[in-house]
Structure 1
Amino acid sequence: MNNNNLNHEISEELHEECGVFGIYDLDGNDTTSSIYYGLFALQHRGQESCGIAVSDTEGPKRKVLSHKDMGLVNEVFTPEILEKLSGDIGIGHVRYSTAGSSTRENAQPLVLNYVKGTLGIAHNGNLINALELREELEYTGAIFQTTIDSEVIAYHIARERLNCGSVEQAVARAMDKIKGAYSLIVMSPRKLIAARDPLGFKPLVLGKRENAYVFASETCALDAVGAEFIRDVLPGEIVTVTRDGVFSDTSRCNQNEARCIFEYIYFARPDSSFDGVSVYGSRIMAGRILAKLHPVEADLVVGVPDSGNAAALGYSMESGIPYGNAFVKNNYVGRTFIKPKQSQRETSVKIKLNVLKDIVKDKRIIMIDDSIVRGTTSARIVGMLKAAGAKEVHVRISSPAFKHPCYFGTDIPSGDQLIANGHTVEEINNMLGSDSLGYLDIESLPNLIGEGMKFCDACFSGNYPMEPPTQDIRGEQG
């Protein structure tokens, strides 16, 4: 076993960069609490910081109030803080960042005061031309308060607003300049605007509850606030909500779409659906395909919680091998969790997961997980199963092997840190200490979401839907 690969200090887990939520309640009822519960439902998309900004369109000065900080939603927002935030338009954000950019200044929503008034923005994704645009703005006198590309977007919207008749037109002009992945929710004193990049990398949905319109990264957030799903925001579409109704601009929509396939495999909650596809159904299908591609004799199929559970059930359904729960997950490990010292690093996995020994003892186990990044965590979980008495552990992965970095809002690291780069499947199997290893193949990915739907699989194939940046710009995402 290669300990150099298995003792990498960087976290094995992959992270989505953020989740966004916005609401325009024409009656002004419970706007702030709706954002709170919406963000709570999206907490899985970002656990490092969060924020809420609200605007009161009926107030004499249309003042924007906001609060953001480091931490989970229930850590940052106390009842006392929520009571101070009132309005009929509001946006919210949960964020995860890679190393070096986890600061309160980078928390969202961003709120800008400029000559035309106030602008709030919440962004999910990553721009590939952010550095270029930032330098252009700095040479014209712009002073940045953060290191995130969301501020670049906000500056461009504000500047374009000086030269056009409406905020939604300014958003459209900004979209002509920015490149990459973005699902945006923009709040002006009187309007709520949602926009999705023309390739549709990140999900964005529209819902309605009585006289309120809601935008969110996932449908589970609509469910959390009692809103009915209306439809997905189309790739390239701009949707504007005012007191006069809902208006759509589809002039930037095209057929060259590239949805992030990993949203269906891992990031999204299983009870969400977007672009007409059930996340839970996608994961069941992945498990079924794995059972056909990599059959093995075993006594029990188990999933690594939470994203591996549905795929494990699918494997069981297809193979006929019983499905069971082998792990107890600690759901209370928040951002304040103190990582152990080098000599105690094994504890970091055991704190989050524990094995049900009575379930796995003397059994041949098929362990389903969503991915292997560096191999660190997978090796430790295999070791935990064998230490609990499992006779065999056969690892099955419900995605292809990671071989390339992502530049569009997912913190898949550079190739030299990915275990699948430079190692064969058999070598990885030996490094994990498992009895066999099988990945989903790239050719099966269309079956997860339906033939004909276009998606991005660059992290597996290296085929990027747009030219990647010449320098690594990851780590400062919105």
Structure 2
Amino acid sequence: MNILPGTPFDCAVDGDKLKEECGIFGVTGVHDASNFVALGLHALQHRGQEAGGIVCHDPIQGFNSARRFGYVRDNFTRADVMKGLPGPIAIGHVRYSTAGSKGATAIRDVQPFFGEFSMGGCAVAHNGNLTNAAALRRELIERGSIFQSSSDSECIIHLMARSIQTTLAERLKDALRRVEGAFSVIAMTRTKLIGVRDPMGVRPLVLGRIGEGWALSSETCGLDIIGAEFVREIEPGEMVIIENGHLKSHRPFAPAPSRFCIFEHVYFSRPDSSYGGRSVYEVRRNIGIELAKEAPVEADLVCPVPDSGTPAAIGFSQQSGIPFALGITRNQYVGRTFIEPTEQIRNMGVRLKLNVNRSLIKGKRVVLVDDSVVRGTTSRKIKDMILDAGAAEVHFRIASPPTAWPCFYGVDTPERSKLLAATMSEDEMRDWIGVDSLRFISLDGLYRAAGEADGRNPEAPRYCDACFSGDYPIAPADKLKEGFEMKEPAE
């Protein structure tokens, strides 16, 4: 469970993790579609816990919406809220902030966004990040557009408004042809549910069938919670339009090589989801197996940093033969409002969220398996906890390569200077964190765990791995104008 930026835990436990920014979900052809959307968003809560919204349409009452801060369970399970969201079609969104305001999000930044056009209303929910949003925003404002939010996603509505196409679906195509970056979009009109992925398919989107109706979700776990049957993934560069129970597929973009975000396998997605026919859990377990092959160590226990490090720790234990143990327990019941932002509480930091099983750890050589190291502050604090509990040695094994580059495709990452791996070698990171050893899985090992037997093909990598390699498949136009320096191409 991630914690809101700006709370006492930011940069302490989950604030030192990369955050996926959004989850999107849509349903059509069912009674009270908003109830299904609320369930789907609940399953996608890990993709965004800052705020959520639902837009629906009812033939009698028209369009209705609700946007709230906080968890889905606290807002969209209330009868007074759901009663105002009737109809057979609805879409929803859960978010953290990326291009919008940080920490103090305004309700106007909460998606889905809605626009009323001459041919009817349209709501749009977007997962990802538009790399040319700043340039588009300036252009649109100069031409008279009045923005209501600080979100890059609102550009899509304004681009639709300026299109000369005669249907909303065609206007959405027009708009998405103008944007650059990563996007999975779910949109709805009075009668249509629309799903679109960017040409490289960086962000996920899957299709399901529920009775006579249809569902779109960021992950397959969203389909599972409503009892929908997984049909297939929306393909990179594909737009599906569902109306009156029928689905039509369109290809509005020029073909491009697929570059699905590999961090969906490493950390973002729930382990019970799957992509490309591969279980996320199995990929993470395979990462642990590869990591044990690449970075063996003599130790007494393999312990995950909960909860995201658990599958990789299981794989590491199975491959190495070192016993697996839950040496760290996560307190699942620390909410945002539980902690007063006092200096004393801030100093407790990680201990409010994680606790060490002292009787298990004392005197042992411990391998800690975590999903990533971003700033490294949490790793140092966890190491201190393990040593305070009497561990003889502490070894970190990281289930991803060093995160040395920021993501511009919908993931909240610090600027490059604040990424530990951007400024230190592996040995320097080991010394800075203060552990006996520190090893990361190689990029080739990560690819092998994800099913690429020969590792990463540098000429045509299957995944977007820019945060590890500095190889950005989509040029971050706005950031380049701000002075961001990309990695020099290899000669």
**Cα distance in 2 between the residues matched to 1:64 and 1:251:** 27
> How far did 1:116 drift?
2.3
Provide the residue aligned with 2:22 in structure 1.
18
**Cα distance in 2 between the residues matched to 1:8 and 1:261:** 23
Which residues of 2 match residues 39-438 of structure 1 at below 5 A?
39-56=41-58, 58-59=59-60, 63-77=62-76, 78-98=78-98, 99=102, 102-160=105-163, 163-243=164-244, 245-252=246-253, 254-338=255-339, 340-342=341-343, 344-438=345-439
**Cα distance in 2 between the residues matched to 1:473 and 1:16:** 24
What is the alpha-carbon root mean square deviation over aligned residues?
A: 2.0
Provide the residue aligned with 1:33 in structure 2.
35
Q: Is the 8 A contact 1:198 1:237 kept in 2?
A: yes
CA 212–244 in structure 1, closer or farther in 2 if over 3 Å, else same: closer
Provide the residue aligned with 1:467 in structure 2.
475
> How far did 1:394 drift?
0.5
Provide the residue aligned with 2:7 in structure 1.
none
* TM-score normalized with structure 1 length: 0.92
Which residues of 2 match residues 433-448 of structure 1 at below 5 A?
433-448=434-449
Q: Is the 8 A contact 1:329 1:352 kept in 2?
A: yes
Unaligned regions of 5+ residues in structure 1, if any? Answer: 1-6
CA 177–370 in structure 1, closer or farther in 2 if over 3 Å, else same: same
Q: Is the 8 A contact 1:205 1:215 kept in 2?
A: yes
Q: Which amino acid aligns with 2:295?
A: H
Q: Which amino acid aligns with 2:19?
A: H
Q: Which stretch of structure 1 is more off in the superposition, 310-319 or 90-99?
A: 90-99
> How far did 1:334 drift?
3.5
> How far did 1:91 drift?
0.4
Q: Is the 8 A contact 2:339 2:345 kept in 1?
A: no
Structure with greater contact order relative to length (CA < 8 Å, sep ≥ 6): 1
> How far did 1:318 drift?
0.7
**Cα distance in 1 between the residues matched to 2:481 and 2:410:** 10
Q: Is the 8 A contact 1:412 1:459 kept in 2?
A: no
> How far did 1:472 drift?
7.2
Provide the residue aligned with 1:4 in structure 2.
none
Deviation string, structure 1 residues 322-370 (Cα, Å, up to 9, x no partner): 1111122122334435464455434231111111112212111110000
**Cα distance in 2 between the residues matched to 1:306 and 1:221:** 19
> How far did 1:399 drift?
0.4
Which 4+ stretches in 1 moved above 6 angstroms? 7-10
**Cα distance in 2 between the residues matched to 1:358 and 1:473:** 55
CA 185–403 in structure 1, closer or farther in 2 if over 3 Å, else same: same
**Cα distance in 2 between the residues matched to 1:315 and 1:253:** 42
The share of aligned pairs that are identical, in percent, is 43
CA 251–147 in structure 1, closer or farther in 2 if over 3 Å, else same: closer
**Cα distance in 2 between the residues matched to 1:68 and 1:335:** 19
Q: Which amino acid aligns with 1:133?
A: L
Report how many residues are paired. Answer: 461
**Cα distance in 1 between the residues matched to 2:245 and 2:229:** 20
Q: Which amino acid aligns with 1:379?
A: R
> How far did 1:115 drift?
2.4
Unaligned regions of 5+ residues in structure 2, if any? Answer: 1-9, 483-491
